[in-house]
Structure formats: structure tokens, C-alpha cells
Amino acid sequence: MNQPTIAQKSPIVKEMAAGTYYWCACGNSKNQPFCDGAHKGAGFAPKQIVLTEAKKVAWCACKHSKNAPFCDGSHRTL
């Protein structure tokens, strides 16, 4: 797999508690935007993110953001 699977062409916006999260980079997780291990054998690895405070996050779901794991609007060009 050279390119990630596009999970959806819009961000996944969630209120997040402070903590450690693993963002799905391959797009195959059934638990978007978080990793569920579906990347195994696909050449992708999840990205660890540590949020130091609770906040609203716009997670990239198209998997093409230049600011991954956060949405940068790249989904508009896919």
C-alpha cells in the first residue's frame, strides 16, 4: 500500500480529554480517527499524539494532511 485509504473527506471533530492518543495513518481502522491495528502489513504506523489539556480537535480523516494528525483542509483537493 503506497497511499493511505481515505476514511472520509472531512475532518473528525471531537472534544478530547488530555491524554495520549494514536492517530490512524493508514485509513483502515474501524475506530477512526484512532488506530485499531489495521495497519499491520500495510507499511504504515500510527502517530502518537499527547494532548496536555482538554480541547476540541479536528482530526484528519483523509490521511493527506501536511499537518497530520490534524486537518489542514487537504481533503478539499482530493
Query: How many residues are given for the chain?
Result: 78
Q: Is the dihedral of CA 19, 51, 70, 23 positive or negative?
A: negative
Q: What is the pLDDT of residue 70?
A: 98
Query: Residue 75 in 3-state DSSP?
Result: helix
Q: Is 59 a domain residue?
A: yes
Quote the number of domains for the chain.
Answer: 1
Q: Is 61 a domain residue?
A: yes
Q: Is 4 a domain residue?
A: no
Instruction: Give every CB contact of residue 33 below 8 A, 6+ residues apart in sequence.
Output: 7, 12, 14, 23, 24, 59, 60, 61, 69
Q: What is the pLDDT of residue 69?
A: 98
Q: Is 1 a domain residue?
A: no
Q: What is the pLDDT of residues 20-67, one digit of tens each?
A: 999 999 999 999 999 999 998 889 999 999 999 999 999 999 999 999
Angle of CA points 76, 43, 73, to nearest 5° = 15
Q: Is 23 a domain residue?
A: yes
Domain coverage including residue 71: 12-77
